[in-house]
Amino acid sequence: MITKDNLISAYFIDNDRKNIEVLIKSEDEKQVIPIIMPFDETDSKFIELNAIVTVDKLHENTYQKKKEEQKDFEDLAMTIAKKNGLVFDEKKMDTKFYPTLVNAMFKNVENEDHLFALKLALFELDKIRDSKNDELKKKLRQSKNKIELLKLAIELIG
């Protein structure tokens, strides 16, 4: 029997939202018991559940569960990608980083999206953002290629 005390969670398990999984604690509270039931307002099990959990809450739980699953998946993917050197670990830079850095800086020098991202990253540096040299900062914002941008950034920091 599903009660307020033993209910852990309840959510839809299919995209059509026709079936619900309910997780309850066993009497000794040592096990989690899953119960699958149809989303049928005439079904006695659903009526029992609905007395404790509204349909809105079921939808909300489903949204939250999917969000958590998505995050777990992304975290796992990132861990594997970092382990295999497919993405950089910001906290652990190694020598593999430099060829990519060089490519990023000296290839595609007029790519607008790259330029934008590079300018933003440079403005994250307090020495640049808080520099009193407004003229150079203006030039940096207006620069049209990465080489010019880097020269200005070095001038501002130097």
Partner 1 sequence: MINIVCTGKPGDGLLRYGYEHCCYLNSVGIKSQVIIIPNPKHTKEDYIKSITDQYKTYENVIFDYYTPNSDEITLVLGRSMITLPYLDRDRYTKDQLMTLHLLFSNKVIAIYSENHPKDYPLALEYFNNKKVYDLCDFDVYPNGVGKQYEKIINFDVYKPIKDEIQHKHLFLGTTEIYYKEIERHMDTNGNYSDHGIVTYNAKWINPSLNNLFVPINNILGKFETYVYTKPNFDPAPRLFVEFRWLGKNVDYVRDKNIKDGGMIYWNRPVPTKDIYKTNINILIELIKEINEEYNIF
Contact with partner 1 (CB under 8 A): which of 5, 41, 56, 112?
112
* Number of residues this chain uses to bind partner 1 (CB under 8 A): 13
- Which positions from 114 through 153 interact with partner 1, judged by CB under 8 A? 116, 119-120, 123-124, 126, 129-130, 134, 137-138, 141
Least distance (Å) between residue 56 CB and partner 1:
15
Token representation of residue 110: 């007029």
Per-residue 3-state assignment (H helix, E strand, C coil) for 9-50: EEEECCCCCCEEEEEEECCCCCCEEEEEEECCCCCHHHHHHH
Token representation of residue 91: 């906290």
Question: Shortest CA distance to 39 belongs to which of 5, 8, 11, 9?
Answer: 11
Token representation of residue 75: 């975290």
Cα dist. 77→47, 71, 82 in Å?
40, 10, 9
C-beta closer to partner 1: residue 22 or 140: 140
Least distance (Å) between residue 137 CB and partner 1:
5
C-beta closer to partner 1: residue 46 or 137: 137
C-beta closer to partner 1: residue 57 or 138: 138
C-beta closer to partner 1: residue 91 or 96: 91
- Chain residues that interact with partner 1, rule: CB under 8 A: 112, 116, 119-120, 123-124, 126, 129-130, 134, 137-138, 141
